[in-house]
Amino acid sequence: MLAAYAVTADADAPLNALRVGQIEPPPVPAGWVEVEVRAASLNHHDLFSLRGIGLAEDRLPMILGCDAAGVTAEGREVVVYAVINEPGFTGNDETYDPRRSLLSELYPGTLAEVVRVPAENIVAKPAELTFGEAACLPTAWLTAYRALFTSAALRPGDTVLIQGAGGGFATAAMVIGRAAGLRVWVTSRDHRRAERAVWLGAHQGFEQGARLPERVDAVLDSVGAATWSHSVNSLKPGGRLVTVGTTSGAEPRSAELTKIFFKPLHVVGSTMGTRAEFARLLQFLVSTGVRPVIDRTIPLADAADGFAAMIGGELFGKVVLEPGR
């Protein structure tokens, strides 16, 4: 089948590690359900995999991709929940399973004509969403939903600062946050992206690192090292810093420990979301009419172009790949 997969790791030139072509469907545990992929979407996670981060060499070649929507053999329209728990995990928060993985880490991912997942990982696709829209939700949008409402515990009327306006996570958080009655501020390295964020629904856009008009209730930070100090400095006493990613690196110049204890702040790690949160996210989109921000929709065969745009920092929203085009 046609798929986009990693054949090696290349930290500096990740496109060298990518192949888009025919590959034999790799084996998966017995009983998993086959989904014919109608649309998949890219995440920074896929780029990390090509760079060798989080994907062990003995797992190669590995079909990339965490997110997809498609059709089962019985004709059910479904969206894939991307957190794969260790068999026997019994906790009620799937993200607390220390042995969990995302599709494309241990098992073949979604950038393919067909993906196989545990039966409990398929969720009915609301008829109101297209396959392309649904395919944007399992990683970036679910992470944004949990970060806003569970990890930052934000309520209507609160102010949230979202670092790095252009990413899939950041655009999700700004659109969901606005629809949920938050005051949404964003930062970007590029004033055009900050303006576009405002056009999309953020109340105000700022240059990365800029002094804000007032301190905020929570910061969602997926950028990491480059924005950490600004995130700490932007919070009110008692505010929440939700860290979900390290696109610019995981080692900030200062950990800002003194400010964190003195203000005092809550620093909360957040990753993906539960299946129950995913169901609520789908309902939230249906109820509010909010839809994912899609930068471009391209054939799966052109996946390398989507990765190149992500590497070049050109994106505003998600890249959707369609195997059938």
Ligand X SMILES: NC(=O)c1ccc[n+]([C@@H]2O[C@H](COP(=O)([O-])OP(=O)(O)OC[C@H]3O[C@@H](n4cnc5c(N)ncnc54)[C@H](OP(=O)(O)O)[C@@H]3O)[C@@H](O)[C@H]2O)c1
Residue ranges that bind ligand X, judged by CB under 6 A: 43-45, 139-140, 143, 164-170, 188-190, 193, 208, 222-223, 226, 244-248, 271-272, 310, 313
DSSP 229-275: HHHHHHEEEEEEEEE---TT-S--S---HHHHHHTT-EEEE--S--H
Nearer to ligand X, 38 or 45 (CB): 45
Q: Which amino acid does the sequence have at 134?
A: A
Order the strands of the 18-22 sheet from edge to edge: 18-22, 2-6, 62-63
CB of 36 to ligand X, least distance (A): 25
CB of 158 to ligand X, least distance (A): 21
Contacts of 177 (CB under 8 A, 6+ apart): 148, 154, 160, 162, 184
Nearer to ligand X, 108 or 273 (CB): 273
CB of 315 to ligand X, least distance (A): 6
CB of 136 to ligand X, least distance (A): 11
Nearer to ligand X, 130 or 243 (CB): 243
CB of 44 to ligand X, least distance (A): 3
Nearer to ligand X, 182 or 315 (CB): 315
- State the greatest distance between any 2 C-alpha atoms of the chain, in Å, as a whole number: 58
Nearer to ligand X, 183 or 193 (CB): 193
Nearer to ligand X, 236 or 296 (CB): 296
Q: Which helix (H) or strand (E) holds 307?
A: helix 303-311
Distance CA 83, CA 203 (A): 32
Nearer to ligand X, 39 or 140 (CB): 140
Strand ranges (E), the chain: 2-6, 18-22, 33-41, 62-63, 67-72, 77-80, 83-84, 101-102, 114-117, 122-124, 159-162, 183-188, 204-207, 216-221, 235-243, 266-269, 294-299, 318-322
Indicate the burial class of 110 (C-beta count within 10 angstroms; 0-12, 13-18, 19 or more): buried
CB of 198 to ligand X, least distance (A): 12
40: alpha, beta or left? (left if phi > 0; alpha if psi -120 to 50) = beta
CB of 142 to ligand X, least distance (A): 8
